[in-house]
């Protein structure tokens, strides 16, 4: 039995470390997933006030949860404070299993994001994984006497402390820069126009339609192809899903660039036949006071003659910001502002703000605001 427990301990510890590290390279991804859960529970009527207040702390919860996964995995592998470690492991697995079962059985959330965006799993796969790990956690608790520390308490505590510092530092770095490994649809090298197209092997949903018409105060339903004569007045159309399709959602389905006048200019911008910049700004109120590296960057880029388009979710506030800089007075009138949905910008620009170098629809390079002072290169 000791051998089996040792194997379970190794597998569980490695999986926890791996799961934490995969999410640590993009902690905002987990934070946004947490916000999805809070929103779903709020919309379901479960403590809506509390859920809305927790939304503001999603990033903090994400950082703590990621660090906890890695630390528990390491503590389990080295046998550090085994009673506390195994109990925390069990509680985490009960919590994770609850979340994945919610995703699987309600369908209100597409995926739980257990391995981040780099390793997408179906709800069935995630739930199955968690059930197995939950069983492992129970076995580890029952046979805890077979967990033998591999180092003295002082060294084990030192390893856990260093791991904690390292995982928090990694997340701090990524939050200021960009994900170390970019697994998002807008990563360098991706063609945004191609990813907006329907997959070639897509199977569309099949619907049945019923048309309601009214005549002499009486409403009657007609199937498709049974449209009545002109003496009937159309009321409405009812659409019913007959057969669910598959693979019929583009990788990028909601990205759009809209001009100040409300025109969709996505295709026009993405088909510009030369290099250009896109400066993505989600929220200018997040910028540090007296920070002006973005304005200096805009001035330097416009001086080179390269086109730069400012994409924001807050058009009025963003325009007001750049209008206030004396250094931009000579170029402000030539700046082009585009709007994009704030939810989409969470994926496009994990760091606020982020600069893209584009060549037509292809992403050439990306930089976070920490690099603005040294751009353009």
The pLDDT of residue 133 is above 90: yes
CATH of the domain at 337: 3.40.30.10
pLDDT band of residue 236 (cuts 50, 70, 90) is confident
Last residue of a domain, one of 158, 176, 194: 176
> What pLDDT, on a 0 to 100 scale, did the predictor assign at position 246?
66
Q: How far is CA 113 from CA 42, 160, 248, 344, in A?
A: 20, 25, 21, 17
Polymer length in residues for the chain: 377
Give the model's pLDDT for residue 148: 87
Distance CA 338, CA 346 (A): 16
Rounded CA separation 23/109 (Å)? 18
23 vs 118, residue with greater confidence: 23
Q: Within this chain, do residues 6 and 153 fall inside the same structural domain, yes or no?
A: yes
Would the CA dihedral through 348, 353, 357, 361 be positive or negative?
A: positive
Q: Do residue 224 and residue 122 come from a single domain? A: no
Is pLDDT at 248 greater than 70 in this prediction?
A: no
Q: Which two tokens stand for residue 277?
A: 């910049």
Please indicate, yes or no, if residue 185 is contained in any of the structural domains: no
Mean per-residue pLDDT, 309-335 = 91
Instruction: Please report whether residue 167 resides in a domain.
Output: yes
Same domain, 238 and 274: no
212 shares a domain with 289: no
Residue 56 predicted with pLDDT over 90: no
Greater confidence, 235 or 270? 270
Phi/psi class of residue 122: alpha, beta or left (left: φ > 0; alpha: ψ in -120 to 50)?
A: beta
Strands 308-312 vs 275-281: parallel, antiparallel or unpaired: parallel
In angstroms, the CA 347 to CA 285 distance is 19
Average pLDDT for the chain: 88
Whole-angstrom Cα Rg for the chain? 26
Same domain for 136 and 65, yes or no, is yes
Same domain, 224 and 314: no
Share of the chain above pLDDT 70, in %: 98
Q: How many CA atoms lie within 13 A of 113 on its CB side?
A: 22
Residue 123's pLDDT is what? 81
Residues 306 and 162 in one domain: no
List, as one string, the DSSP characters of 144-197.
GGG---SS-HHHHHHHHHHHHHHHHHHHHHHHHS--SS--STT-TT-BHHHHTS
The residue segments making up the domain with residue 232 are 206-243
Same domain, 315 and 213: no
145 and 34 co-located in one domain: yes
Which of 8-12, 34-38, 126-130 is modeled with the greatest confidence?
A: 8-12
Lowest mean pLDDT among 1-15, 218-232, 301-315, 344-358: 218-232
Q: Is the pLDDT of residue 251 over 80?
A: yes
Give per-residue pLDDT as tens, 173-211: 999 998 888 889 999 999 999 999 887 776 777 788 888
Rounded-to-integer distance, Cα 65 and Cα 42, Å: 21
- Rounding to the nearest 10 degrees, give the CA dihedral for residues 90, 96, 99, 100: -120
Look up the pTM and report it: 0.81
Residue 222: predicted pLDDT: 85
Instruction: Round to whole Å and give the CA distance between 321 and 206.
Output: 48
- CB-CB contact of 67 with 174 (8 Å): no
Could you give the CA distance from residue 101 to residue 106 in angstroms, rounded to a whole number?
Answer: 8
Taking 70 as the threshold, does the pLDDT of residue 138 lie above it? yes
**Mean pLDDT of the region 261-272:** 92
Q: What 3-state class would DSSP assign to 310?
A: strand
What total of structural domains would you count in the chain? 3
Closest of 74, 58, 343 to residue 175, by C-alpha = 58
Q: pLDDT by residue (tens digit) across 139-159?
A: 999 989 888 888 888 898 999
**Is position 303 within any domain?**
yes
Quote the CA–CA distance of 140 and 147 in Å, as a whole number.
Answer: 8
271 and 232 in one domain?
no
Domain membership flag for residue 188: no
Q: Are 221 and 322 part of one and the same domain?
A: no
């Amino acid at each position: 039995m000791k051998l089996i427990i040792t194997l379970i301990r190794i597998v569980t510890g490695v999986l926890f470390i791996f799961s934490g590290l995969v999410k640590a390279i993009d902690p905002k991804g987990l934070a946004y997933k947490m916000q999805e859960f809070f929103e779903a529970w709020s919309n379901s009527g479960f403590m809506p006030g509390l859920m809305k207040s927790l939304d503001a702390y999603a990033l903090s919860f994400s950082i703590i949860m990621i660090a906890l996964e890695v630390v528990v995995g390491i503590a389990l592998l080295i046998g550090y404070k085994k009673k506390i470690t195994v109990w925390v492991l069990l509680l985490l697995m009960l919590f994770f299993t609850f979340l994945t079962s919610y995703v699987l059985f309600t369908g209100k959330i597409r995926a739980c994001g257990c391995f981040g965006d780099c390793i997408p799993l179906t709800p069935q796969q995630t739930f199955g994984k968690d059930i197995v790990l939950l069983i492992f956690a129970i076995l580890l608790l029952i046979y805890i006497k077979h967990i033998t520390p591999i180092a003295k308490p002082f060294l084990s505590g030192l390893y856990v402390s260093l791991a904690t510092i390292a995982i928090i530092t990694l997340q701090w770095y990524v939050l200021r820069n960009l994900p170390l490994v970019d697994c998002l649809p807008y990563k360098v090298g991706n063609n945004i126009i191609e990813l907006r197209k329907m997959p070639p092997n897509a199977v569309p949903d099949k619907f049945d339609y019923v048309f309601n018409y009214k005549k002499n105060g009486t409403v009657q339903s007609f199937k498709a192809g049974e449209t009545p004569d002109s003496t009937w007045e159309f009321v409405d159309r009812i659409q019913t899903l007959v057969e669910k399709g598959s693979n019929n959602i583009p990788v990028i389905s909601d990205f759009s660039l809209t001009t100040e006048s409300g025109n969709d200019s996505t295709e026009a911008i993405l088909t510009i036949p030369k290099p250009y910049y896109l400066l993505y700004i989600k929220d200018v109120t997040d910028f540090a006071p007296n920070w002006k590296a973005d304005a200096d960057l805009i001035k330097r880029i416009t001086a080179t003659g390269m086109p730069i388009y400012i994409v924001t979710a807050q058009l009025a506030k963003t325009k007001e910001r750049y209008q206030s800089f004396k250094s931009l007075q000579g170029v402000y009138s030539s700046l082009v502002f585009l709007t994009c949905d704030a939810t989409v910008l969470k994926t496009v620009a994990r760091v606020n703000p982020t600069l893209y170098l584009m060549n037509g629809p292809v992403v050439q390079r990306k930089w976070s605001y920490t690099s603005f002072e040294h751009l353009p290169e």
